[in-house]
Structure 1
Amino acid sequence: MASDDMSRDPQEEALRRLLEEAFGGALPPEALEGMDLGELARQANLPTDPNQLRAAAAQMQHLFAQGGDGPVNWKLAGDLARQTAMGVQRLPGQEAPAGSPGDPTPSPEQVRALREASQIASLWLGAVMDFDVPAQELDVWGRATWVHRTLPRWQSTVEPVAKYMAGAIGDAITAQMQGSGMALPGDPAQMMERMGGTLFGIQFGQAIGSLAREVAGGSDLSLPLGPEGRPALVAANVEDFIAAQSLDPAAARIFLASRELAHTALFTAAPWLGRTLFAAIEDYARGITLDLDALDEMVRGLDLSDPESLQAHRPEDLFVFTRRAAQERALEELATTLALVEAWVDHVTTRALTGKLPQVEAMREVLRRRRASGSPAEGMLARTVGIELRPRRVREALAWWESVLATEGEAGREAHWAHPDLLPGVDVLAGTPQAPRPAEAATADLADAALPEDFDAELEKLLSGEDGDAPQQDEPGDERP
């Protein structure tokens, strides 16, 4: 056996190893024996250089060693997300990671400064909102910790679309290989679905890891991603925010801490809200479809033997989505709820901080611009899972909350979070924002309405037809349309 191994062509042996690793054990033993592996490599656009094949095989071995039991490679996604968050991993064709280098552990000074900022923000918020300020002490995380704490929520949320996409990508690759006349050993569907799950895991992990380098806390996306009831800030990203905008450090920490506390207070006081948001995302994802023509075109254009070609085709280019009208409406409703969350947080934190902190308006403007344009990581996530987690009509939602406060006060404003039916819909925010009028105002209007002095006499005149407007009774045989 050893002599047989020694006599094998190095290129053929490297290709054999690449295929075995790529299919992750789905190939039956000896399935490749007797096949023309050189022709197989040419048909699949695989490298022909033995050194390139060995490198590709080693990379495949690392990727598939992380595989799980399901169709989506979540272990790979998590591993890649943590490496991306730390700035040590970047896919071909991707831009350099945002933010300061690496993933420094929060220093004792950073932890102390952020927790002191949280204590101040807590006192000021408590004076302007009717919800309880979170009692939990602020957590201070590194970037990889953000990934670790939020990944379970991400995984459960995008599981439906991930499973669908793994199968769709696998089907496209299978069709392309079969169209070339290539005979696939073993179970082609299983092998290609595994390949599709790996491609999705790679792109998803890159997106989440990139987000970890941008977000300030656990709820920047107006979603409760972290542990329930626990506010958290990412120390390195807070410092990047301060440095990039030349802000007063103490003021910026209080500003970001107040937003994190307000988000946490809202999601704690209205537990239905987080469940509704995630359920909407999951329902939307279940109905998503890929543009299979675009996917097939992408697969056909891949050339694994050309590094420049590979870099020109980013993994997210595989994911081109089509939406039905029902999904567009669902997305609009999701974006509206996110806008109401974002606007409420902006509303209460602005009231809490104005007159106490410098640069409040400047910091609000930074967030408005970021929200309007979207970050590169948010764009990558949207391309990967087909869902734009971007609030719409935030300005209109902010005006609505301000009008609610003017007519109903803080308790009345917070009461609208008791049930989704008490919140305005897309149609309300699309017009001139008007807050619901309190019951006392409606009662007062009725009390002020002037009734005739002789109400019975006026009613009798109406019924008798003395004013010419008496109701007419149908004659027998008359037909009404």
Structure 2
Amino acid sequence: MSQNPMPGGSGDMDEEALKRLLKETFGDALPEGALDGLDLGAIAAQANLPQDPAQLRAAAAQMQQMFMGSGEGPVNWTMAEDLARRAAVGSLQIPGAPGAPAPTGSPGDPDPTPAQVQELREAAQVARLWLDPVLAIDVPAAELAVFSRGTWLHRTLPRWRSLVEPVAAYMAGAIGEAIAAQTAQMGEAVLPGGADPAGMMERIGGTLFAVQYGQAIGTLAREAMGTTDLSLPLGRDGEPALVAANVADLVDENSLDAPAARIFLAAREIAHTALFAAAPWLGKALFSAIDDYARGITLDLDALDEAVRELDLSDPESLQSRRPEDLFVFTRRAAQERALEELATTLALIEAWVDHVTSRALEGKLPQLDALREVLRRRRASGSPAEQMLASTVGIELRPRRVREALSWWESVLATEGIEGREAKWAHPDLLPGSEVLSGTPQAPRPAPEGAGDGAEAVELPADFDAELEKLLREEEGGTDASGDGR
């Protein structure tokens, strides 16, 4: 036993036990001798470590597991995806923890039954037949995939990871710096043995981010109807898919006609898939816009410093219980707000186009069509709990803005240019309206074309234009021409 026990706990833990905790937790990040001469009691108090030796050993094992498998980069993606899978099946719930909401929907993650697969695929066949006459783009021929929640998660995780990686690296570093500021003993002056305290703190920051991210994506798997609910192509190219358990939950929760709801949801998923296949640039542009926005995001560091003061770094459940809004308070520059506005506008145009074409295809054929549309509108307008958690975690709001205005715009295009003209708007982003068009904000005048410097802009109308026009018409009726000779 060490001769330097640290009083205050139930077991008066000695410093050797604390050294073992730190070495087991951080592994090679702690060089030999790095902890010699340190005031480990102060470190333990600062980090809220347990004093009882048994509790300390348990904390070491838990922390070691949390940091295992992080691989390259600061974020422990292995742990994040494991938490996401547990959340998807409804097994991730910490009683009383605000950061881990109770699972929504039906229990567990049941595999789709043969009856559910048959019903959804038959609904998709009907939806294809009804969509085809109202579209000027190809309806995808791929058979509808019917997923469990876990399969939805497996298929979409690669997309999610690529979306959040830019902001994840930044946030891991920011959280690590905030933790380091609260445990100043871990600075260079206290770790003369060559340890990398910045790396340690960044790993802790990456772990905190991974916990929140995993919970958000896993919870979303319990709510998503298909792979395009957010107007993003998250699944495989050209493959529409629905989550059987979540479709059944939507029907039960809203007292919907089940066959009608299945056709309605299949039609929306197929319409989304058809659009992304017909306009390959669209998905790339959406992901690029999210990437650009994420790379410029910043955290309110003062709020983060305050949040980490109460963190118990020895307790994984304590880390999981932190609500995203407690840790991550985002600040946006003007450029970020503009980027978010453009992203929300594009999402609104996609959402409105899908609503527009599916409504035309299904009108007069489905009972409760208006009720079905309203249920989906409310979900998209307010954002599900998982969407809100995702926005709080990564700072990216994936909600459309001005969907009703966008719907009116698509209806006007159809009235004036027809189906072909409507679909032609997706040929290039410049053919789509911007947020100022949908909002009715006056636009700045366009610059005059080159070479028009002394042309049209120099023409002035007479002050009494109506009188001059009437005089000209009388002359025409009298048979006189400009020369006045009557010919």
Smaller-chain TM-score bracket: 0.7 to 0.9
Partner of 1:369: 378
The one of 328, 332, 340 equivalent to 1:331 is 340
Q: Are the aligned partners of 1:290 and 1:320 in contact in 2 as well (CA < 8 Å)?
A: yes
Cα 1:312–1:74 change in 2 (3 A) is: closer
SS in 1 for 2:391: helix
Q: 1:312, CA displacement in angstroms? A: 7.0
Q: Which residue of 2 aligns with 1:474?
A: none
- Offset of 1:374 from its aligned partner? 1.1
Deviation per residue, 1:56-107 (Å, 9 max, x gap): 2222122212311112211211111111111112353222011111111111
8 Å Cα contact 1:24/1:64 also seen in 2: no
Query: Would the alpha carbon gap of residues 142 and 190 (structure 1) be closer, same or farther in structure 2, given more than 3 Å must change?
Result: same
Report the CA distance shift for 1:187/1:309 in structure 2 as closer, same or farther (over 3 A). Answer: closer
Q: CA deviation at 1:336?
A: 0.2
Residue 178 of structure 2 is matched in structure 1 by 172
> Alignment partner of 1:357: what SS?
coil
Q: Percent identity?
A: 71
After TM superposition, give the deviation of residue 301 of structure 1 in Å.
2.9
Partner of 2:391: 382
Q: Quote how far apart the aligned CAs of 1:22 are.
A: 3.5
Rounded Cα–Cα distance in structure 1 between residues aligned with 2:236 and 2:318? 42
Secondary structure of residue in 2 paired with 1:233:
strand
Is 1:229 aligned to residue 235 of structure 2?
no
What is the alpha-carbon distance in structure 1 between the residues aligned to residue 483 and residue 333 of structure 2? 58
Give the direction of change, closer, same or farther, for the CA distance of 1:349–1:11 in structure 2 (3 Å limit): farther
Shift of 1:36: 4.2
CA offset digits 1:155-208 (Å, max 9, x no partner): 111111111111111111112211798824611111111111111111111110
Residues 11, 49 of structure 1: 8 Å contact kept = no
Task: Give the CA deviation at 1:108.
Answer: 1.3
- Could you tell me which amino acid in structure 1 is paired with residue 71 of structure 2? G
Q: Measured at CA, do residues 136 and 29 of structure 1 come closer, stay the same or move farther in structure 2, by a change above 3 Å?
A: farther
Give the whole-Å Cα distance in 2 for the aligned partners of 1:81 and 1:310. 15
Asked if 1:183 is matched to 2:186, the reply is no
| 1:135 and 2:158 are equivalent in the alignment | no
SS in 2 for 1:225: coil
Pick from 158, 166, 169 the counterpart of residue 163 of structure 1. 169
SS at match of 1:401: helix
Could you say if the C-alpha distance between residues 175 and 240 of structure 1 is closer, same or farther in structure 2, counting changes exceeding 3 Å? Answer: same
Where do 1:36-75 residues align within 5 Å?
A: 36-75=39-78
In the TM superposition, 1:287-436 aligns within 5 A as 287-303=296-312, 313-431=322-440
Instruction: Note the C-alpha offset of 1:127.
Output: 1.3
**RMSD of Structure 2 on Structure 1 (CA):** 2.9
Q: Equivalent residue of 1:140, what SS?
A: strand
- Secondary structure of 1:40's partner? helix
How far residue 303 of structure 1 moved from its aligned partner, in angstroms, is 4.3
- Is the contact made by 2:380 and 2:399 (CA closer than 8 Å) also made in structure 1? yes
- 55-64 or 174-183: which moved more? 174-183
In structure 1, what is the equivalent of residue 458 of structure 2? Answer: none
Query: How many residues matched?
Result: 441
* 1:419 counterpart letter in structure 2: H
Q: Give me the TM-score of the superposition, normalised by structure 2.
A: 0.84
CA offset digits 1:27-76 (Å, max 9, x no partner)? 22453355443332112222223343233222212221231111221121
Aligned equivalents of 2:73, 2:317: Cα separation in 1: 32
Q: CA deviation at 1:25?
A: 3.3
Q: Distance in 1 between matches of 2:351 and 2:190?
A: 54
Q: State the alpha-carbon separation in 2 of the partners of residues 80 and 11 from structure 1.
A: 34
| Aligned position for 1:19 | 22
Structure 2's unaligned 5+ residue stretches are 6-10, 443-468
The residue aligned with 1:464 is none
Determine helix, strand or coil for the equivalent of 2:110. Answer: coil
- SS of aligned partner of 2:190: coil
* 1:309 to 1:78, Cα distance in 2 relative to 1, 3 A: closer
- Verify the 8 A CA contact 2:13 2:51 in the aligned structure 1: no
2:122 to 101, 116, 122: 116
TM-score (norm 1): 0.85
Change (3 A) 1:48 1:10: closer
1: CA distance between counterparts of 2:217 and 2:308?
Answer: 24
Quote the offset at 1:309 in angstroms. Answer: 7.7
Contact in 1 for aligned 2:324/2:389 (Cα 8 Å):
no
SS in structure 2 of the partner of residue 127 of structure 1: helix
- The offset of 1:459, in angstroms, is 8.4
CA contact (8 A) 1:168 1:196 kept: yes
